[in-house]
Amino acid sequence: MISAFLLAHLLNVEDRGTFQLFVTSVTYLVTIGAGGVGFAFALSMRQRQYLGWAYYFVSFLVVSALVAIIALCFFKLTTFPVLFIINVVLTAVLTITLEKSKIDANLRFYKAISLQQPILAVLLYGICYWVFGEQKLPIVLYLLTGLTCIQALLCLYYLRCINKNFVTEQSQGLSKIDHHFFRKTWLKQNLLQTFGATTVNLDKFLIVSLMGNYTLGLYTVCIAFDALLTKFINMLADYYYSGLLNKMNRIKPVLVLVGIMGISAIVIVPLLSEPIVRFFFTEKYLEVAPILVWFIVNSIIAGLSWVLSQNMLILGKQILLFTRQVISILVLVGLFYYFSELGLYGVAYALIGASLTRLVISIVYYFKYPILN
């Protein structure tokens, strides 16, 4: 959230959108090229299959670079191809390390990586803005590359520590990674992560292709507020899910809290959106203020559908949730094209339409597949 504030000050709206496309494309391509690799490493380590892991690690870094090169050949993602490929490879190091670090029961390295990302970003962007003020896009991309490089170097150190600790603990009986097991585990996780990344990032790619980088730059403000509200609703969903695991139905208090949050946000946001946007994101983004309430409405609808979906997770009906997601994606794409001339309002209407689709299906699932015990 703080990084979003700083980037809004560092860049103008057009460059902020271009920067967001750069970052989104990097993370998406890393998911395609290296997503699930660290997960497969961790499961292989549980089976005491570990020898030769460095070969797989380097191979998937090469795959990530090739994925980036192929994407740049077919899509105009950036005018900085070298920086783009470097960021993809460095981010792949981070992604693999983050997944692999979960083998540690205390999550020591996982916590360190999770904390270092926002702290380093705030320090780097904050110092740059405090000393030099607003910057051109190339400068901020170099800052991003420097930040990613620092993170990758730290991750290589963490990988060395994980390797040393694991080999010491498992002094005997380690075998080579079983290629068939690794490939099967990686492929399943990779497909799952790629679908999730497609769902999460589709709106940004549609905005750029249909409305341009300027609209995406404005949309980053909406993303920041959406993330804040979504975190609270996800906490309520986890509270409800925890109750279901312990045979307690907490749906009523959860729905009441979501309702209070929703009504409060709808009343307060129109009154305070303009001064808040001006203070945190500067006057460059003021045209977002009157539209912000629609994105808040979307967050509430989307959050409510996720709360009602917890029953399906308990019952093990993930396939039906997958089907719901596919239907909502089709609705989203169709509405994006239909409302493409309305700019940011069109984005809000398309997102609300897709969220309402998920909510209606979630309500049907909730009553059709009740938890009896």
Alpha carbon separation from 263 to 190, 260, 297 (Å, rounded): 39, 5, 9
For residue 28, what pLDDT is reported? 96
Q: List the chain pLDDT tens, one digit each, 373 residues.
A: 678 888 888 999 999 999 999 999 999 999 999 998 988 888 888 888 888 899 999 999 999 999 999 999 999 889 999 999 999 999 999 999 988 888 877 788 888 888 888 899 899 999 998 888 888 999 999 999 999 999 999 999 999 998 888 888 776 778 888 889 889 888 988 988 898 899 889 999 999 999 999 999 999 988 888 877 888 888 888 888 778 777 788 888 888 988 888 888 888 888 888 998 988 888 899 999 999 999 999 999 998 998 888 888 778 787 888 889 899 999 999 999 999 999 999 999 999 999 999 999 999 998 988 876 5
- How far apart (Å, rounded) are the C-alpha atoms in residues 268 and 336? 28
Please report, for residues 229, 320, 351, the alpha-carbon distance to residue 282 in angstroms, rounded to integers and kept in the order given: 21, 43, 25
Q: Which amino acid is at 46?
A: R
Euclidean distance between CA atoms 315 and 317, whole angstroms: 6
Both tokens assigned to 32: 């395609």
In terms of phi and psi (left: phi > 0; alpha: psi -120 to 50; beta: otherwise), the region of 35 is beta
Hey, what are 289's tokens?
């203020």
CA pair distance 196, 317, nearest whole angstrom:
17
- Contact present, 134 and 12 (Cβ < 8 Å): yes
332's tokens: 């989203």
Is-contact 64 33, C-beta < 8 A? yes
Relative to beta strand 49-51, strand 175-176 is parallel
Which of 60, 154, 176 lies closest to 109 in space, CA to CA? 154
Element (H, E) at 49: strand 49-51
